[in-house]
């Protein structure tokens, strides 16, 4: 396989990023409003824990009193597994939609588990992209292709805890009084950029598969293809990480640069949506700009519009890229490298 020839669009294979659970007669036997002595389903707990190990997030959409249901989840020792639980009297469809919004993932990456056919049908009608599963027939759920990630990386295993740290950060940010830059400085962020190693490749593949919004082309590459790029003398494969005083965000950025004799071309640039509000979106691209300038190369970038990545088009525009060519849906940008911006003061950038 010639690394220089490999470009492809994101495929249509669906993967589940979050499973949303009902509670009554789903996570536990019984109806909490009728009898507080409900019985936890051990087989469901086993599924919840395995999904968590695989890096699949989980939440709740349940028609119940919020305080009572959360108290019962705490009593059972499983409350920590659920992000943004929607325990209220809203429709399940609206709860599922709210969960997708709060986690900031596509609703087509959600699965919904409920024992009531009416509830599943309501969600399926409102959001036909959501995979609806019968809580009374969960045998084989863990064997579904959409529930099996190709790799389980260190970042996968820590994904829920990373999101929980995000929730804490966001709460602190809401209460913070002062300029945004002061809040960002208070996080004590460290942003790292380095050539990808063999140990990074599983996470790099996962990033190309999972990242939709902050992705300039939607190209996906598998482990072997990325390894070819890593070893290629004609490419730079860069991976970025972020951490702050609340913990690590993990590896959150990837860039693939084709390094020609006269022109460098960014084939892929992506960032996890979890860092969108952290003011670090320009760091990776500015590093590439600076590197190309130091090497005396022209710098171009490919952009292929999808239904979700408008933000990355704006990112290129803000970074002074100009459209120089268009081939069907593929836009070719170029930067004249006359105004390379410094890294922001509120983050410590380490180049590997």
* DSSP code string of 196-223: --GGGHHHHHHHHHH--TTBSS-----H
Same domain, 68 and 161: no
Residues of the chain with confidence (pLDDT) below 50: 1-11
Residue 192 CB neighbour total at 10 angstroms: 17
149 assigned to some structural domain:
no
Predicted pLDDT of residue 4: 38
pTM here is 0.79
Measured between alpha carbons, how far is residue 128 from residues 99, 116, 121, 141, 155 in Å? 16, 17, 9, 19, 30
Bridge-partner residues for 59, per DSSP?
A: 20
5 assigned to some structural domain:
no
Q: Which of 169, 167, 25 shows the shortest CA–CA distance to 82?
A: 167
Same domain, 85 and 168: no
Same domain, 160 and 72: no
Predicted pLDDT of residue 13: 59
Predicted pLDDT of residue 306: 84
Measure the CA angle with vertex 72, ends 91 and 127; round to 5°.
Answer: 20
Predicted pLDDT of residue 54: 95
Same domain, 220 and 103: no
Same domain, 125 and 192: no
- Containing structural domain, residue 127: 18-143
Same domain, 165 and 99: no
Contacts 24+ apart (CB under 8 A), 308-313: 308/106, 308/212, 308/213, 308/215, 309/212, 309/213, 309/214, 309/215, 309/216, 309/218, 311/213, 311/214, 311/276, 312/214, 312/215, 312/216, 312/269, 312/270
Last residue of a domain, one of 91, 111, 143: 143
3 assigned to some structural domain:
no
Beta strand 18-21 pairing with 57-63:
parallel
Same domain, 110 and 161: no
Same domain, 206 and 328: yes
7 assigned to some structural domain:
no
1 assigned to some structural domain:
no
66 assigned to some structural domain:
yes
Query: CA-CA distance, 276 to 213, in Å (whole number)?
Result: 10
| Three-class SS state of 19 | strand
Same domain, 92 and 195: no
From the centroid of its chain, how far is CA 129?
Answer: 18
What CATH number is associated with residue 272? 3.40.630.30
11 assigned to some structural domain:
no
Same domain, 121 and 243: no
Predicted pLDDT of residue 278: 87
Same domain, 136 and 167: no
Last residue of a domain, one of 99, 115, 143: 143
Number of independent structural domains in the chain: 2
Query: CA-CA distance, 182 to 172, in Å (whole number)?
Result: 13
Predicted pLDDT of residue 125: 98
């Amino acid at each position: 396989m010639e690394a220089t020839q490999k470009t492809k669009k994101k495929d249509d294979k669906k993967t589940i990023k979050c499973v949303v659970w009902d509670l009554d007669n789903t996570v536990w036997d019984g109806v909490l409003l009728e009898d507080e002595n409900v019985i936890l389903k051990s087989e469901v707990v086993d599924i919840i824990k395995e999904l968590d190990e695989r890096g699949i997030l989980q939440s709740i959409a349940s028609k119940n009193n919020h305080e009572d249901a959360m108290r019962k989840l705490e009593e059972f020792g499983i409350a920590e597994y659920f992000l943004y639980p929607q325990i209220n009297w809203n429709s399940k469809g609206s709860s599922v939609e709210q969960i997708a919004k709060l986690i900031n993932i596509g609703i087509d990456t959600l699965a919904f588990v409920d024992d009531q056919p009416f509830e599943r049908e309501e969600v399926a009608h409102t959001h036909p992209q959501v995979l609806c599963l019968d809580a009374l027939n969960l045998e084989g759920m863990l064997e579904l292709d959409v529930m099996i990630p190709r790799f389980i990386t260190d970042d996968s295993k820590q994904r829920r805890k990373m999101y929980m740290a995000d929730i804490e950060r966001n709460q602190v940010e809401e209460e913070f009084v002062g300029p945004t830059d002061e809040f960002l400085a208070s996080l004590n962020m460290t942003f790292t950029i380095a050539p990808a190693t063999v140990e990074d490749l599983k996470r790099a593949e996962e990033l190309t598969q999972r990242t939709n919004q902050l992705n300039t082309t939607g190209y996906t590459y598998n482990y072997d293809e990325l390894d070819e790029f890593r070893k290629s003398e004609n490419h730079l494969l860069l991976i970025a990480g972020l951490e702050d005083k609340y913990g690590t965000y993990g590896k959150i950025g990837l860039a693939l640069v084709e390094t020609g004799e006269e022109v460098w071309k960014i084939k892929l640039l992506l960032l996890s949506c979890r860092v969108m509000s952290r003011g670090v979106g320009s760091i990776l691209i500015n590093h590439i700009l600076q590197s190309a300038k130091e090497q005396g190369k022209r710098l171009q970038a490919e952009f292929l519009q999808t239904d979700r990545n408008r933000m990355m088009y704006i990112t290129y525009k803000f970074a002074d890229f100009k459209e120089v060519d268009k081939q069907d849906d593929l836009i070719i940008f170029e930067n004249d490298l006359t105004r390379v911006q410094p890294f922001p003061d509120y983050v410590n950038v380490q180049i590997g």
